[in-house]
Amino acid sequence: MIAVIRKILPEIKPEDFAKIVCLQDTSTGEVKLGVLDMFFGCILKSLQVKVRGSQDGNRSAKNICITDILITEELPSYYWFFKGEGDSQLASSVVSLIKDMCEVLNSDLLNYA
């Protein structure tokens, strides 16, 4: 999936990409999600936090991920991408894609300055 996005991204005009990524309509108050929301959802689902604690002298550690905290059945239907398990390899690819996009954006800004 990420490979396909990498191939088609150079073909998309920046203003069209902005419409996809930054879906904001404050006049109606309607929730609109963009591509970045789904990308960040992929990353969020793959993250784990190690929680350590002790009680009565017994130490314990537990890995917690978003699926342990978030009850996806209670989410509105437009958050469909939070359902299911996260894949760390997909999240790594998404992070790499976002980094590459930022590098291109920064180099373009430096060329115009």
User: Which tens digit of pLDDT belongs to each residue from 11-55?
Assistant: 777 777 766 666 655 456 566 777 778 888 888 888 888 888 888
CA neighbor of 31 nearest in space, from 81, 79, 74: 79
- On the question of pLDDT at 111 being above 70, the answer is no
Q: Quick one: CA torsion of 94, 100, 104, 107, rounded to 10 degrees? A: 140
- On the question of pLDDT at 88 being above 80, the answer is yes
pLDDT at residue 75, rounded to an integer: 81
Q: What whole-number distance in Å separates Cα of residue 102 and Cα of residue 96?
A: 10
What Å distances lie between residue 85 and 1, 63, 67, 68, 103, CA to CA? 17, 15, 7, 11, 29
Q: Side chain identity at 52, as an amino acid letter?
A: R
Q: How far is CA 87 from its chain centroid?
A: 12
Question: Is this model's pTM higher than 0.75 or not?
Answer: no
Write out the two tokens for 60: 């314990």
Cβ distance 51 to 64 under 8 Å? yes
Q: What whole-number distance in Å separates Cα of residue 40 and Cα of residue 35?
A: 9
Write out the two tokens for 92: 């790594």
